Structure 1
Amino acid sequence: MAKIFLDSNILIDFLVEERGALNLAAVKLFENFSASDTICYSFGSISDVAYVLKKFYKISDEIILDFFRALSRKSNFKCLPLSSDGLSMACEYAKSELKSGRKIDFEDVLQYFCALEGGCEAIVTNDKTFPKIQIALKRMDANIEDYAPKQKN
């Protein structure tokens, strides 16, 4: 029984056959979820995914709507919100990264803090720059290493 967060790119991989091996890996991932797993995604991912699918992959509105309707009806899939406190933490983290000279992808930072607030144990993402803080990152792309946070003593 795990609580797993899906990055937006995993949802896109699942729906876009042209993404080849990543699509196959995403389909397999969805097939292997246990009924006792809680699978999470952020409220913000819905509009991001819909935009990318329509604009870059020409996926129809009907397919996009059917997909998100199906997710909303599955008892083990949860759409997570981001609170004002979560947004504030995300902004502080992003500003800290920028001050340190590191680039950020604010959309990924928001998703990370959404997963953190939601109590997720792991995030599935293929994004190389996804924040590496205190939640494990699992990759479907064999060319990108997983991330395991250091254990506190």
Structure 2
Amino acid sequence: MESTKVFFDINIVLDIIDPMRSHHSKAKELWKILVTNKSQILISEDMLSTIFYINSDNKYTLEFFQIIQKRWQIVPFGKNVINNAIDLSIKNNLDLEDVLQCLCAQENGCAVFITNDNNFYDCGMSIQNVDDFLLSPLR
């Protein structure tokens, strides 16, 4: 049986690495459950530079990147995802970053997209916050 593919929004990754963030404990619990269940965790490669910029502990962030490079799939957008995201964002006045992430998750066959952004773009796949995912049968 193929493992479940789960895509993390950038706020989930930041919650995992920053103990001062309000969702830190739940994000760490989520990560532990996904590892235990042998789920595949995916993020887009553009997140790395943003996370590095946002997180103040550069050495810790780089060490975290070393770990996740071995265990997570860090995937590119690709030209089709970028073109589709731009078109959708223009047509529907959407947040390009959200659309890029969601279409990237779809393109890579993810079953669920996890974000704590309550206004995240609905691209037609399961979008859950950490609390909802921890209660779901997919966990």
Compute the TM-score of the two structures, normalised by the length of structure 1: 0.79
What is the Cα deviation at residue 62 of structure 1? 1.0
Which residue pairs with 1:149 in the alignment? none
What is the Cα deviation at residue 51 of structure 1? 1.1
Which residue pairs with 1:94 in the alignment? 89
Which residue pairs with 2:49 in the alignment? 47
SS in 2 for 1:18: coil
Distance 1:85 1:41 in 2: 17
SS in 2 for 1:137: strand
Q: 1:134 aligns with which of 118, 124, 127?
A: 124
Q: Could you tell me whether the CA contact under 8 Å between 1:105 and 1:129 is conserved in 2?
A: no
Which residue pairs with 2:25 in the alignment? 24
Q: Flag the structure with larger Rg.
A: 1
Which residue pairs with 2:78 in the alignment? 83
RMSD: 1.6
One-letter code aligned to 1:2: T
Q: 1:37 aligns with which of 39, 42, 60?
A: 39
Q: How many residues align?
A: 130
Which residue pairs with 2:62 in the alignment? 65
Structure 2: any 5+ residue segments left out of the alignment? none
Distance 1:16 1:109 in 2: 25
Distance 1:15 1:106 in 2: 25
Distance 1:45 1:65 in 2: 13
SS in 1 for 2:124: coil
| Range 25-34 or range 132-141, more displaced | 132-141
Compute the TM-score of the two structures, normalised by the length of structure 2: 0.87
Distance 2:53 2:131 in 1: 23
Structure 1: any 5+ residue segments left out of the alignment? 99-103, 147-153
